[in-house]
Amino acid sequence: MMTAQEISDRIEIADLLTVYTRAIDTAEWDALDNVFTPDALIDYTSAGGIAGSYPEVKAWLAVALKEFVRRQHILGQLAVRLDGDTAHVPLISPIP
């Protein structure tokens, strides 16, 4: 049985994913500041993008996604695994 803290952590993670995908889909790049810490390292290389610091990747997203007029992430199969202060969250998120 999950503890109240585990339930809260899972809800917060789901909320962060929603803020992230909404920011990408609506091109509200500053909303990503509510998702990533300034010292975050982000890797989009598996999707043909860049890897870098959060400020570098944020700037890259604004340029790289500019040509995509419509974006809509669909979140599915959210499988959160909590391990102390760390969460592992593999996620399938197709963009139709």
Say what the pTM is: 0.85
Predicted confidence at residue 8, as pLDDT, reads 96
Predicted confidence at residue 91, as pLDDT, reads 77
Whether 94 is covered by a domain: the verdict is no
Structural domain count, the chain: 1
User: Which has the closest alpha carbon to 85: 26, 30, 13, 15?
Assistant: 13
For strand 41-43 and strand 51-53, is the pairing parallel, antiparallel, or unpaired? antiparallel
**Structural domain boundaries enclosing 33:** 4-88
User: Which has the closest alpha carbon to 14: 77, 60, 64, 68?
Assistant: 77
Rg (CA), the chain: 14
Whether 95 is covered by a domain: the verdict is no
Whether 93 is covered by a domain: the verdict is no
Long-range contacts of residues 76-85, Cβ cutoff 8 Å, at least 24 apart: 78/13, 78/14, 78/17, 80/9, 80/10, 80/13, 80/14, 82/6, 82/9, 82/10
Whether 30 is covered by a domain: the verdict is yes
For strand 51-53 and strand 81-83, is the pairing parallel, antiparallel, or unpaired? unpaired
Domain with residue 39: its CATH number is 3.10.450.50
Whether 80 is covered by a domain: the verdict is yes
CA 24 to chain centre: 9
Whether 64 is covered by a domain: the verdict is yes
Whether 17 is covered by a domain: the verdict is yes
Positions in the chain whose pLDDT score sits under 70? 96
Predicted confidence at residue 96, as pLDDT, reads 59
